[in-house]
């Protein structure tokens, strides 16, 4: 007898096979396979791979409905979240449409035809999406901050009873290293101004003892100093001329004499076309800073010779050296 393979016949054959299998299992005492709905509990999220986005979608344990919430990615089935379940996947950078639908099996899974929510996936980013059941029958997913999501997901477990068929849900690669945020390097410190340099002139070569009028040799000494400055410096910022005397005589007279001598030297330098950008200053300090001590202060020839190093004019130059 020939049997025609019609849809009805196929259904009847399948029903008979199922019934026979059920009877056989009952007679043999075989153990029925039970598929677990949940896997391991959520702990903490691993870092996102450097070239992917890590995505978590979860549903609170206190969900409004006992029916599952189906998750579709770009119109393809991904998971059915029960209350207290979460799913994890990685995605390539770009836009992915995510649709959440409650009890979609009763509607023949037609919700996958809806556009859903369009999310942008950034490399190295971890997204936490929470199923929002407040707007039933419409269901949405809300982007949650990491701290809040970690707290709410502490009571959830991985949903494992179905297999994703969404091409957008990829296996996650190796977790990327945490980005080290470094402050920009501080700007370099401003260049230090050049250290001043001192040139000492013996006043015995410039002036008569106790006088402030230049000798002929004094003009030559100042001319030689100016030539030295032009040789040593490409530009001069500042010149300070400081006059000193010995300790012979009163403090007031020595202070006045040292100031007069400093003024004379400063004018002679300026007259030789030396133009510091910050000018020339002259100061007389008298005998307050002796370079040689131990000399007596009586105006004897011996004491004058002893005090010779103390009678000086110091020219302090600040500028750019060659």
**In angstroms, rounded to a whole number, what is the distance separating the alpha carbons of residues 254 and 209?**
12
Q: What is the pLDDT of residue 20?
A: 39
pTM for the full predicted model: 0.47
* Token pair belonging to 174: 């190796």
Per-position DSSP letters for 162-197, written without gaps between them: S----TT-B---SBPPPP---PPPPPPPPPPPPPPE
Q: What is the pLDDT of residue 106?
A: 83
Residue range of the domain that includes 144: 38-159
- Of the candidates 159, 185, 213, which is a domain's last residue? 159
- For residues 218 and 301, state if they share a domain: yes
pLDDT < 70 stretches in the chain: 1-34, 177-182
DSSP 8-state assignment for residue 87: E
**In angstroms, rounded to a whole number, what is the distance separating the alpha carbons of residues 169 and 216?**
99
Q: What is the pLDDT of residue 258?
A: 95
Q: What is the pLDDT of residue 226?
A: 94
- For residues 84 and 135, state if they share a domain: yes
* Token pair belonging to 297: 């202060």
Q: What is the pLDDT of residue 251?
A: 93
Q: What is the pLDDT of residue 180?
A: 54
CATH number at residue 281: 3.30.1330.60
Q: What is the pLDDT of residue 18?
A: 41
CATH number at residue 146: 2.60.40
Q: What is the pLDDT of residue 15?
A: 39
Q: What is the pLDDT of residue 32?
A: 60
Question: Taking a C-beta distance cutoff of 8 angstroms, is the pair 319, 274 a contact?
Answer: no
Q: How, if at all, do strands 126-132 and 140-143 pair? A: antiparallel
- For residues 216 and 297, state if they share a domain: yes
**In angstroms, rounded to a whole number, what is the distance separating the alpha carbons of residues 309 and 305?**
9
């Amino acid at each position: 007898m020939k049997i025609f393979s019609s849809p009805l016949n196929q259904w009847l054959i399948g029903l008979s096979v199922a019934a026979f299998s059920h009877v056989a299992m009952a007679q043999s005492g075989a153990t029925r396979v039970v598929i677990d709905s949940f896997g391991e509990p959520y702990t903490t999220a691993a870092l996102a791979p450097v070239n992917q986005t890590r995505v978590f979608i979860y549903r609170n344990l206190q969900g409004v409905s006992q029916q599952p919430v189906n998750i579709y990615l770009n119109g393809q089935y991904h998971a059915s979240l029960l209350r207290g379940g979460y799913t994890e996947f990685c995605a390539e950078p770009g836009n992915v449409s995510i649709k959440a639908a409650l009890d979609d099996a009763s509607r023949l899974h037609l919700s996958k035809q809806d556009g859903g929510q369009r999310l942008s996936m950034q490399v190295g980013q971890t997204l936490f999406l929470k199923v929002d059941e407040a707007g039933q029958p419409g269901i949405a997913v809300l982007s949650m901050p990491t701290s809040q999501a970690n707290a709410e997901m502490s009571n959830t477990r991985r949903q494992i009873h179905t297999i994703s068929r969404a091409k957008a849900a990829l296996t996650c690669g190796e977790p990327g290293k945490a980005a080290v945020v470094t402050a920009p390097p501080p700007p370099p410190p401003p260049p230090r101004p050049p250290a001043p340099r001192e040139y000492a002139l013996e006043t015995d070569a410039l002036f008569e003892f106790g006088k402030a009028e230049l000798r002929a040799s004094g003009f030559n000494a100042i001319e030689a100093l100016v030539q030295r400055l032009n040789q040593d410096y490409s530009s001069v910022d500042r010149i300070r001329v400081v006059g000193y005397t010995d300790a012979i005589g009163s403090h007031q007279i020595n202070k006045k004499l040292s100031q007069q001598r400093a003024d004379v030297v400063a004018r002679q330098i300026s007259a030789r076309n030396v133009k510091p950008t910050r000018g020339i200053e002259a100061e007389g300090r008298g005998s307050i800073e002796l370079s040689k001590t131990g000399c007596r202060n009586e105006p004897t020839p011996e004491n004058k010779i002893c005090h010779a190093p103390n009678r000086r004019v110091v020219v302090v130059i600040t500028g750019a050296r060659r």
